[in-house]
Structure formats: structure tokens, C-alpha cells
Amino acid sequence: MEIRVEKIVVIGLGLIGGSFALDIKDKRSNAIVVGIDTNSEHVLKAKELGVIDKEGTQEDIQEADWVIVAVPVDKSMNVLVDVLNKINSTAIVFDVGSTKSQICEAVKNHQNRRNFIAAHPIAGTEFSGPQAALKGLFMERTNIICEVEKTAFVFQEKALELFKQIGMRIRYMDPISHDKHIAYMSHLSHISSFMLGKTVIEEEKNERDIFDMAGSGFESTVRLAKSSPAMWTPIFKQNKDHVIKSLSEYIANLNSFKELLEQEKYEEVFATLEETNRIKQILK
């Protein structure tokens, strides 16, 4: 009996693309994972680390069963259109970007729109590149799929099977709601963390040993300030309006808190902290 080999093309061999490659190789024994990246060092590294089986070509895209587009969101639109132009009629293509409106808009009238799934797997770390790829990264994480009705049902089914195989739970959402809520739930955290890091670096620039004082609290709050600027700048750009709105509300809350301290209203400080402790229940 002949086992049909499944060809997976991963475009963008960073943290997310690389982690998909590892999980797919782990869970689907008949899969061959080939990788494409504009950075040739990433391709070599991904091969060396066993993240991919070999380097991919344009021909591989034409023959692919799956194409995973995991490049920064500003590059993603062109790459996706190009991929959708090339694939065969039974291929399934999905992206993994942290913004969804512009992506969905860019492909909405494409003749192969039915082969595409607009996905946002909410998983990651502060690290980047193929060496950051982790097996099991998506386990028990949420994968948000936008405009699912525009994907052919047969491809929805197959994609869901893959996402469940690597441990993800699925949520459906329209792209505008996605971008609005993700500004608060993810993009704002990154800005808050980057600006915390900037503030502390500026203050302590002449204090060589002061970072010995960093506790696990500071490390956790500033962790996202290690994230990739090449990934995050285009996200902030694409989701500019929602990001600015969430950032304005965050700044307003910080200003109010500062005023409570300046006016020595410590009962209100206490009440504000206690009210916000609700996050304990919410995140459980």
C-alpha cells in the first residue's frame, strides 16, 4: 500500500512558521515540510535544526497540499496573493498574522479565496527566528479564524483537523472585531512593555549594576520588550486606529492613577487596585 505524501510549504521560518513546521512533522508522519524565507540564513538554520525537511521552491508552492504564510503582516498581503495565484485547486493556504482586516480585504475577490483560511493562532514567545521555534507551542491556545464562510467547507474541515491535531481550540470572529479586541488583548501589552523597558533603560543608563534589582515581576512585565521590531512595527501600522484608541485609554488610566497619588487619595488607590484584582477571576 502506497502512502500519499503530503507537501507542506512554510513561508517565513520564524517563531510561528517554524513551530507549525515542527508540530506538523511531529503529528503527521506522511508530511514533508519545505521552507521558504527571504533570509537565507534562516533557511539554513531551519534545516540544521530539523525544523524543515528541505528548502522549498516556487514549484513546491504549485504542488503544495498546504501553504502556511508566516511572514510579517506588511509582507503577508503580497505573499498571499502570489501564493493564491500559484496553488492547485485542492491546496489549503492559511496565514497566521496578528491583524486580520487588511489581509481579508486584500484577498476577498481572489478567484482562490475559497482555498484560504484567515487565521490568528494566539501563541508565541518574545523570541524570533527559526531557533525560536517550539514543538507544542500551540497546545491549548486559541486560534481565531475570520470570515470562515468564505473558505470552502471541505478546506475548513481539513484545516480544523490540523489545528485540533496540534492542540488548538477554534474561535470564529469577523476581522474588524478581531482587530479591535486584539488591540486591547495583545497589541497594547506590547506597547506597555516596550515603553516600560525604554523608561527604565533611560533612567538607569549610567547605573551599571542596577539591573541586579530586577525581580521576577519586572522581568515578566518587560518580557515583551524583547519582541521583534520587524514583526511588530507593521502590526501597529495595520491596526493603527484601534491601537491608538487603546493606548489613549491606557494613558488616561495612568494619568488618573498618578493624580490619585499626587492628591494622596490612598483609599481610592486601594479601591482601584482591588477592583483590578478581578483580572484573577477573568483569566482563570
> Restricting to residues 224-243, which ones interact with a copy of itself according to CB under 8 A?
224-227, 229-230, 232-233, 236-237, 240, 243
By CB under 8 A, name the one of 58, 62, 88, 220 that touches a copy of itself: 220
Binding of a copy of itself by 214 (CB under 8 A): yes
List the one residue from 26, 41, 157, 204 that touches a copy of itself (CB under 8 A). 204
Cβ pair 55, 48 in contact under 8 A: no
For residue 164, the minimal CB distance to a copy of itself (Å) is 16
27 binds a copy of itself (CB under 8 A): no
181 near a copy of itself, judged by CB under 8 A: yes
Give first-to-last CA distance, the chain, whole Å: 48
Least separation in angstroms between residue 131's CB and a copy of itself is 14
CA distance 85 to 122: 28
Q: Which of residues 105-124 bind a copy of itself (CB under 8 A)?
A: 122-124
58 or 233: whose CB is closer to a copy of itself? 233
Residue labelled with grid coordinates 517550539: 134
CB of 266 to a copy of itself, least distance (A): 5
154 contacts a copy of itself (rule: CB under 8 A) = no
Interface with a copy of itself by CB under 8 A: which range of 14-22, 32-40, 76-84, 196-204?
A: 196-204
- Smallest separation (angstroms) from a copy of itself to the CB of 73: 13
CB of 190 to a copy of itself, least distance (A): 7
Tell me the C-alpha distance between 168 and 136, whole Å.
10
Q: Answer for the pair 54, 42: CB distance below 8 angstroms, yes or no.
A: no
Instruction: Find the shortest distance in angstroms from Cβ 212 to a copy of itself.
Output: 5
Among 118, 159, 168, 182, binds a copy of itself (CB under 8 A): 182
For a copy of itself, the closer of residues 22 and 224 by Cβ is: 224
Site for a copy of itself in 121-140 (CB under 8 A): 122-126
Ranges within 255-274 binding a copy of itself (CB under 8 A): 255, 257-258, 261-262, 264, 266, 269-270, 272-274
Backbone angles phi, psi at 35, to 5 degrees: -120, 145
